[in-house]
């Protein structure tokens, strides 16, 4: 991957550029508890069952126009299970200037659901209504808020999400396209790898469609992930 010192520095994108509702409450710490307003995102990108921007790599994404009539992108049902072994040193996550990471709180649920809803509008996955999704997610025995990482800009707009199960599985990865190519997706992945290594996990897995047109496989392989059996054996 490209060394951080050679990456072009870019200023944080603003709420108006992202199409987000800005947060006007008091300043928050890295692990805040105040309410985050819902996102009204105009476009996202998808990576198979994950939503992501490739950050350091050229963008391997599809720009999604929000449309209630948009049909899913045609893809086969063939998926790969990829694995990142956690043996040896893990690169510490480094977020670009103007961005930080925190973990999920209940008041983030609506904003995160909107992110998934818009991202899956053109294929690559599915999310039900908020009334279906949120009760199911929080009731899942593998759900853990401290494994639900949110990247925010200086205005506390959520621009990236990495949601993981306790079984060391990445369920969703999202970065807003206007915040890409700055290292956010890569930092979120390193955040996940580092956290699970700290918890004693031997590896982290995810699944991805092999013919997903976003080219997500290149990012995951660049992060040291390899294919394993679909059942994880």
Q: Which of 170, 220, 228 is nearest to 195 (CA)?
A: 170
pLDDT of residue 122: 56
SS3 call for 80:
strand
What is the side-by-side strand order in the sheet with 148-152?
100-103, 148-152, 158-165, 169-175, 203-209, 79-85, 226-228
Per-residue tokens: 216: 């997500």
DSSP string, 125-190: -----HHHHHHHHHHSTT--GGGEEEEE-TT--EEEEEEEETTTEEEEEEE-GGG-SSSHHHHHHH
10-residue averages of pLDDT along the chain (233 residues): 40 51 38 33 36 36 31 64 96 96 96 76 72 96 98 88 96 79 91 98 91 72 96 92
Asked whether the beta carbons of 96 and 9 are under 8 A apart, the reply is yes
Would residue 181 be called left, alpha or beta, if left means φ above 0 and alpha means ψ between -120 and 50 degrees?
left
Full set of structural domains in the chain with CATH: 42-62+77-228 (3.40.630.30)
User: Does pTM top 0.85 for this prediction?
Assistant: no
Q: How far apart are CA 164 and CA 175, in angstroms?
A: 15
């Amino acid at each position: 991957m490209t060394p951080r010192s050679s990456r072009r520095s870019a200023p944080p994108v603003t709420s108006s550029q992202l199409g987000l509702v800005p947060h006007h409450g008091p300043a928050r710490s890295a692990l805040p508890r105040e309410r985050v307003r819902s996102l009204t995102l105009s476009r996202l990108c998808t990576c198979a069952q994950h939503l992501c921007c490739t950050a350091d790599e050229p963008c391997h994404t599809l720009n999604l126009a929000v449309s209630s009539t948009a049909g899913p992108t045609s893809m086969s049902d063939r998926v790969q299970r990829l694995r990142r072994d956690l043996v040896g040193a893990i690169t510490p996550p480094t977020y670009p200037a103007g961005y930080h990471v925190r973990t999920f709180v209940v008041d983030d649920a609506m904003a995160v659901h909107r992110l998934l809803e818009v991202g899956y509008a053109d294929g690559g996955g599915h999310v039900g209504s908020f009334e279906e999704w949120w009760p199911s997610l929080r009731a899942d025995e593998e759900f853990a808020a401290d494994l639900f990482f949110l990247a925010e800009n200086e205005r506390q707009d959520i621009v990236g999400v990495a949601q993981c199960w306790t079984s060391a599985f990445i369920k969703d990865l999202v970065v807003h396209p206007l915040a890409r190519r700055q290292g956010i997706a890569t930092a979120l992945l390193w955040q996940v790898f580092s956290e699970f290594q700290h918890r004693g996990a031997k590896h982290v897995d995810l699944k991805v469609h092999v013919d997903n047109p976003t080219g997500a496989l290149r990012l995951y392989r660049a992060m040291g992930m390899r294919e394993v059996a679909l059942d994880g054996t």
